[in-house]
Amino acid sequence: MSFNSRRNLFFLGMLGFGVLYLWGLKGLPDFGRYEGVYGITLNKVAVAQTHATNLVAAVTFDYRGFDTLGEEFILFAAVVGVAILLRAQRDEAATADEEAEESKDESRSAPHTSDAVRVLGLALIGPTVLFGLYVVAHGHLTPGGGFSGGVVLATAALLVYLTGEYVALRRVSPESLTELAESVGAGGYAAVGFLGLLAGQAFLTNVLPLGTTGQLNSSGTILLINLAVSVEVAGGFSLILAEFLEQTLLVRERKHG
Amino acid sequence: MELLHGLVLVFVAVGGTAVVLTRDPLAQSMVVSFYGMLLGILFFVFQAPDVALSQLVVGAVALPMMILLALAKAKAEKQ
Amino acid sequence: MSYLPFAVAAWLFAVGLYGIVTSRHLIHLVICLSVLQSSTYVLLLAIGYRTGASAPIFVEIPPGAPVVDPVVQALTLTNSVVAATVSALLLALAVQVHKKAGTFDPDELDILHG
């Protein structure tokens, strides 16, 4: 399809979309006047029912827990897909590299890290890990939780790379460990769901003791699922990072080592 | 409060347009990082701190990082 | 004023799709897709917003105080992280295409010429 006909098709589609969108907007309440039944009901009962003060976490990991399990497996599948795609290339590249070992070219290797980046990166690794753990652990109390906290934890691995300690990156997040974390996180979520079945209730029912509202150790399975999700997200993002970095790392290692 | 909403919304609309119109992916990775931050601020004024936090770490850090790594990998393969 | 959030959501959708349709670079295309995805977040959060209400965190507000809708926020929260991994998958595909075909331009890919 030519460029112009593609663009014309787009404008035609947008026209149809615009009509449908305006039609849909007519059925929506005005901005700021939403009276959703579920939201209003949850606002009244959720804290008493789940002992979690962060309603978003209560909805994500309890009321909509089964749906989040599905999202969890989308994440899992996407990360596995990245690993498979990039690993196939790496194996090909490794064989090609052996043949072309003699003709090393400088442009392929990453530039040398400056001292300022190294010092700042090193100084930030500790606080980043701590902040990530804090966000994860307080997910049921304050904004945060396994999804955002897991990504924060994974950026700590990026900082390790930025400081130029590529060997250290391999040591803090070896492939087998990130793979394990990703799978254990995904499986752990489902395993917590089976606790409900063991107790003779529905899958993912919050059967654990709820504790005192506002305490770190409260809200039953929400806390456990939150931790499982954080392990999976941190593992998954570190794995993506490592898979994308692998090529550059190989080059660097050969140059310096 | 209404004015703040309007202002941030307009910034987000302009930011999204800028991301699309930046045709060079390397420059785009920086623009999209800024756009992710604007979205984070928007979600914050919409009283959604959870979403704002995850949007900040994903949109402003993780996504641009993955774009840069993909570009670097493709460049390495070109040789 | 009250329709501005919905207009911005529609604008982000349109501009993201325009970028995808006219893209000449697969990585540019993936980034445009992320702009398109963000339109759904803006729409959902705009729907769930209630004027004068607080965030749905009952730490420093009394029980029963008016808060914005937590359901749409939960939808958006999980989605934004999952969408990032899907973007990573698409980027990996783009890198793979670049390796096989030597180009990022979708118009130069023979396989897409039907």
Amino acid at A215: Q
Backbone torsions φ then ψ of A199, nearest 5 degrees: -80, 5
Nearest chain B Cα distance for residue A251, angstroms? 9
Q: Which chain B positions have a beta carbon within 8 Å of A148's beta carbon?
A: 50, 53-54, 56-58
Q: What confidence tens digit (pLDDT) does each residue in A132-175 have?
A: 999 999 988 988 888 999 999 998 888 887 777 666 666 666 77
CA pair distance A62, A72, nearest whole angstrom: 14
Among A32, A48, A36, CA closest to C53: A32
Q: Which of C12, C43, C79, C82 to substitute to test the interface with B, most B CBs within 10 Å?
A: C12
Q: Which chain A positions have a beta carbon within 8 Å of B51's beta carbon?
A: 56
> Is the predicted pLDDT of residue A221 greater than 70, yes or no?
yes
Structure-token pair, residue A148: 């955002």
Structure-token pair, residue A74: 């989308």
Mean of pLDDT over chain A: 83
Among A13, A47, A171, CA closest to C64: A47
Whether residue C112 lies within 8 A of chain A, CB to CB, comes out as no
Predicted pLDDT of residue A109: 46
Predicted pLDDT of residue A107: 42
Backbone torsions φ then ψ of C36, nearest 5 degrees: -60, -45
CA pair distance B65, B44, nearest whole angstrom: 23
pLDDT tier at A40 (50, 70, 90 boundaries)? confident
Is residue A183 classed as helix, strand or coil in its secondary structure? helix
Predicted pLDDT of residue A96: 62
Most confident of A120-124, C6-10, C82-86, C97-101: C6-10
Q: Which of B19, B73, B77 to substitute to test the interface with C, most C CBs within 10 Å?
A: B19
Predicted pLDDT of residue A41: 87
Q: What confidence tens digit (pLDDT) does each residue in C67-82 have?
A: 899 999 999 988 888 8
Q: Which of B1, B13, B32 lies at the smallest CB-CB distance from C11?
A: B13
> Is the predicted pLDDT of residue C62 greater than 50, yes or no?
yes
Structure-token pair, residue A125: 């690794």
Sign (positive or negative) of CA dihedral A196, A201, A206, A208: negative
| Domains of chain C with CATH codes | 4-112 (1.10.287.3510)
Backbone torsions φ then ψ of C42, nearest 5 degrees: -60, -45
DSSP 8-class letter at C2: T
Predicted pLDDT of residue C102: 83
Q: What is the mean pLDDT of each run of 10 residues along chain B (79 residues)?
A: 88 96 93 94 93 91 90 78
Predicted pLDDT of residue A119: 87
Predicted pLDDT of residue C51: 87
Q: Where do we find the tokens 């400056």?
A: A114
Most confident of A82-86, B45-49, B65-69, C12-16: C12-16
More confident residue, A103 or A233: A233
Q: What confidence tens digit (pLDDT) does each residue in A166-211 have?
A: 666 666 667 788 888 889 999 999 999 898 888 888 888 888 888 8
Predicted-complex ipTM score: 0.91
Share of chain A above pLDDT 70, in %: 82
Q: What confidence tens digit (pLDDT) does each residue in C17-32 have?
A: 999 999 989 999 999 9
Q: Closest residue of B to A157, CA-based? A: B62
Mean of pLDDT over chain C: 88
Q: Where do we find the tokens 């995904």?
A: A186
Question: Could you tell me the pTM of the whole model?
Answer: 0.88
